């Protein structure tokens, strides 16, 4: 890891995440696609696949880190010869994308497969024309400006965000929604990485997002951590396999007990 230029890696990841941006935003606005349901209940369009191929093309052309593997939500995994692996979600939030609600994003992260550590991550929101990024030791950024998590410590006075009711059911944690409802006077469901980035920049104090796949939160992990936050991941063995709790350290600590992390 010491010989890897993480700033260069992050620039490549930004270029890759931005590559399908105009195509995705135009498709969302024009609604010129069909929507299918995948086996896990998530939504799929032909735009997802096209976007992932555009992201992969940029990473392939850059060829850095040399021999890195690539895994994406729609196109599967391409094995590599190095311990590094690119993780891609071409359209995180396909359901809002299919309704032209501009909280969808393109996610790219780089993981050290030997340690499981995400060392670089980018979240680009085509509908809002915003890009968030971070690399290990390099801080967290929103369109070139540094971001930090909230400094609030009083749980009841916070704004919290959660995943959808379907996610709670899939992960078998419906009973936890009521606990969150009672814990704060402002519980929202911003959804997908839009909520994660709201926590990274301190707009909400924390997010509980159950039933996620790796590509749904890989960039969030490094971005929130580099913004001074905490990310807790619980492997569930149900649904997509992961419950994620992230945000301001003082609030996450209180929520960890409440949510049985």
Render pLDDT for 128-174 as a digit per residue (tens, 0 to 9): 999 999 999 999 999 999 999 999 999 999 999 999 999 999 999 99
Rounded Cα distance, 18 and 125, in Å: 9
Max CA pair span of the chain: 50
Phi, psi of 106 (to 5 degrees): -110, 130
User: First vs last Cα of the chain: how many Å apart?
Assistant: 30
Rounded Cα distance, 108 and 218, in Å: 8
Rounded Cα distance, 22 and 54, in Å: 12
Quick: pLDDT tens for 52-102.
999 999 999 999 999 999 999 888 889 999 999 999 999 999 899 999 999
More confident: 3 or 49: 49
Token output for 232 = 């807790």
Asked if pLDDT for residue 115 goes beyond 50, the answer is yes
What's the confidence (pLDDT) of residue 1? 43
SS3 105: strand
Phi, psi of 72 (to 5 degrees): -135, 155
Asked if pLDDT for residue 222 goes beyond 90, the answer is yes
Bond preceding residue 65 cis, omega within 30 of 0: yes
Give the Cβ contact number of residue 28 at 10 Å. 23
Phi, psi of 174 (to 5 degrees): -55, -35
Token output for 32 = 């010129």
Quick: pLDDT tens for 121-130.
999 999 999 9
Domains and CATH numbers, the chain: 6-138 (3.30.540.10), 155-258 (3.40.190.80)
Quick: pLDDT tens for 7-63.
999 999 999 999 999 999 999 999 877 777 656 656 668 899 999 999 999 999 999
pTM of the model: 0.94
CA of residue 67 relative to chain centroid, distance: 24
Q: DSSP character for 13?
A: H
Quick: pLDDT tens for 169-190.
999 999 999 999 999 999 999 9
């Amino acid at each position: 890891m010491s010989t890897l230029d993480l700033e260069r890696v992050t620039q490549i990841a930004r270029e890759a995440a931005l590559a399908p941006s105009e195509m995705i935003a135009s498709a969302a606005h024009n609604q010129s696609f069909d929507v299918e349901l995948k086996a896990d209940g998530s939504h799929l369009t032909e735009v997802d696949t096209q976007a992932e191929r555009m992201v992969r093309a940029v990473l392939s052309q850059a060829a850095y880190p040399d021999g890195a593997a690539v895994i994406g939500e729609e196109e599967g995994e391409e094995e590599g010869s190095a311990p590094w692996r690119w993780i891609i979600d071409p359209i995180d939030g396909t359901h809002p994308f299919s309704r032209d609600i501009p909280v969808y994003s393109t996610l790219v992260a780089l993981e050290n497969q030997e340690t499981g550590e995400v060392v670089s991550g980018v979240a680009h929101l085509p509908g809002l024309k915003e890009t968030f990024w971070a690399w290990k030791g390099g801080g967290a950024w929103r369109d070139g400006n540094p971001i930090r998590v909230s400094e609030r410590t009083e749980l009841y006075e916070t704004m919290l965000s959660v995943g959808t009711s379907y996610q709670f059911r899939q992960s078998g944690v419906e009973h936890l929604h009521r606990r969150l409802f009672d814990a704060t006077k402002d519980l929202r469901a911003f959804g997908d990485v839009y909520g994660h980035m709201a926590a990274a920049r301190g707009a909400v104090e924390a997010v509980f997002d159950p039933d996620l796949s790796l590509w749904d939160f890989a960039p969030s992990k490094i971005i929130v951590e580099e913004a001074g936050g905490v990310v807790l991941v619980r492997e569930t063995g149900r649904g997509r396999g992961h419950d994620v709790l992230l945000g301001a350290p003082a609030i996450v600590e209180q929520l960890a007990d409440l949510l049985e992390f």
